[in-house]
A and B are shown apart, each in its own frame.
Chain A
Amino acid sequence: MTRAERGAVGGGVEPVLRVEHLGKAFGRARVLHDLSFEVARGEVLALLGANGAGKTTTLACILGIVPFEGTVTVGGVSVRREGKRARHQIGYVPQTPALREGDTCREALRFLAELKGAAAARADELLARVDLAAQRDQRIGSLSGGMRQRLALAAALLADPPVLLLDEPTTSLDAAGRREFYALVRQLRGEGRTIVLSTHAVDQLDTLADRALILHEGRVAFDGTVAELGARSQRRRYVVSVNGTAAAFRQALRDAGIDASHVREDGLRWEDILTEAAGGGHEQPAEGAR
């Protein structure tokens, strides 16, 4: 059964998360303008955009941590009216590790399991799942950044929530940490979890997400499938292998005496597509071509 099939219970694709006319201002600065989107059950939505586009604020509103305008429902439960019940249906991984450093991994998970009404045994089960069984009695302060984020993911999964919100979870991680974390996210995607993933890891977009929502200055700049996003651009990218330096290549182009050993059409980089979709510059010359 595919995720789409799982989502189509009862005939239509059932939105598990619904955001309608979401607005948010901090003092005079308005950071979200009338956002509306839905996330279907089993769907992975990549929330994209530059720093300050409003991704983290959107997630904070979904969690009900900050007051907001508009309506947010999780599994049909209003975040504004029944915040606690709505949060029961959300597992959240913040941008930076936010678990108490003095606690051991097990203590932290058991406390959160109690809060979420999950069995204490789930703590050990999930520590094993995120490959932290050996560190279970270790203090969180002594863990690496990657381990802490995997622990936060374990915490988010404690009550087996219908929705996972991952807020740029790999920002503070090195390449190995990012790989490990996204491998776990891919596993969760394969299990048909509903995930909202705020991320900058656009190079892995097609393997991580079904849909993309691009925010630009607090407004929706694009909302569609990852495939639609990829097809949206008419631009093409070429990989050119040059015999010589970039300066020599430019010189060669100028003189129209091109000496390229191989030129082939290639897929666009996701960064280019997103920049274009978010309303950024149409042509970003490569560094070496300036």
Chain B
Amino acid sequence: MKTAGIVARKELRQAVGSSWLLLYAALFTALALALSYLGARNLGDLGFENFSRTTASLLNLCLLLAPLVALSLAADSIAGERERGTLAYLLSQPLDRWELLLGKFAGLFAAIGLATVAGFGIAGVAIALLASTMDAGTYALFLALVLALIAVMTGLGLVASVVSRTRVQALGLAVLVWFVAVFVFDLLLIGTVSATSLGGGGLLLALLLNPVEIVRVLAIIQLEPDLQILGPFGSYLLERTGATGASVILGAALAAWVAAPVAAAAWLFESKG
């Protein structure tokens, strides 16, 4: 673990200096501030509702941007080293493959996480100043959900990086994963529900297949525990599991999503030889 820590610190230093991450941090902070300002101006003084809507908008922004950055940076990590010819040299050092992979995961997660926390923090101050009410606990929970999603996507990016021969291939795969998770999955789900008699249980299972949707629904449960916004599916959840039960199921699925990709990437990296 000590070796993984050394690699993680090195990866963090490198990522912090990367133009991609700086661009993400700047863009995310600017958009978060704009959302906070517009939320307060357009909705007027609506108290908690104002806060909820602004943070929900902020969350949607995160669900769009954070996965893309995490997937891209992680996809570049191993494939980039391989293409530059530095991977074999790194592997000739006294470290195990899984330590290198875990170190890269931790370093990248920390770098993207720090940029996100900075954006969230600045936006949080703006919301606190502009909105009449602010629930700091809910805001922190949202941040935790976004960080979990970043961990998932960093792991998936590493899988793409390990299985790809070139950086371009890895980046292409990463963008495909992002596109499916953020845009296509929703459309597929709507199409499936319309075309089949997929019930609430089926919908819940389908939801668990996409970590972006898991985070979205967990945030909705936190903001609107009556789940009316989810329509019949909300009623199903309330009836079968209750808001707390649904949170537990979705939380457990999200935890599995955090662990599974990085474990899969480590296994693939080890077995590829």
Interchain Cβ contacts under 8 Å between A and B, 15 examples? A65-B92, A85-B94, A87-B92, A90-B92, A94-B89, A98-B86, A98-B89, A99-B86, A99-B89, A100-B86, A102-B17, A111-B6, A115-B7, A116-B94, A117-B94
A191 to B96 alpha-carbon distance, docked (Å): 31
Interface centre among B3, B10, B17 (most CB of A within 10 A): B10
Q: Is B137 an interface residue (CB 8 A)?
A: no
A98 to B86 alpha-carbon distance, docked (Å): 5
A:95-121 near B, CB below 8 Å: 96, 98-100, 102, 111-112, 114-117
> For residue B231, which residues in chain A have a CB less than 8 angstroms away from its CB?
none
Q: Is A83 an interface residue (CB 8 A)?
A: yes
Cβ distance B98 to chain A, nearest Cβ, rounded Å: 10
- Identify which of B14, B17, B273 contacts A67 (C-beta below 8 A): B273
Cβ distance A140 to chain B, nearest Cβ, rounded Å: 11
Give B contacts to A, CB under 8 Å.
Answer: 3, 6-7, 10, 14, 17, 84-86, 88-89, 91-96, 99, 273
Q: Is A129 an interface residue (CB 8 A)?
A: no
Q: Contacts A66-B273, A98-B85, A98-B86; is A114 near B6 (CB within 8 Å)?
A: yes
Q: Is A209 an interface residue (CB 8 A)?
A: no
Residue of A nearest to B273 (CB): A67
> For residue A96, which residues in chain B have a CB less than 8 angstroms away from its CB?
85
Are A102 and B14 in contact, CB atoms less than 8 angstroms apart?
Answer: yes
A65 to B92 alpha-carbon distance, docked (Å): 6
A117 to B95 alpha-carbon distance, docked (Å): 11
A60 to B87 alpha-carbon distance, docked (Å): 12
Q: Contacts A85-B94, A87-B94, A116-B94; is A111 near B88 (CB within 8 Å)?
A: no
> For residue A92, which residues in chain B have a CB less than 8 angstroms away from its CB?
89, 92
- Identify which of B10, B17, B88, B94 contacts A94 (C-beta below 8 A): B88
Are B93 and A116 in contact, CB atoms less than 8 angstroms apart?
Answer: yes
Are B14 and A98 in contact, CB atoms less than 8 angstroms apart?
Answer: no
A63 to B89 alpha-carbon distance, docked (Å): 10
A:43-85 near B, CB below 8 Å: 60, 63, 65-67, 83-85
Are B88 and A115 in contact, CB atoms less than 8 angstroms apart?
Answer: no
Cβ distance B9 to chain A, nearest Cβ, rounded Å: 9
> For residue A111, which residues in chain B have a CB less than 8 angstroms away from its CB?
6, 10
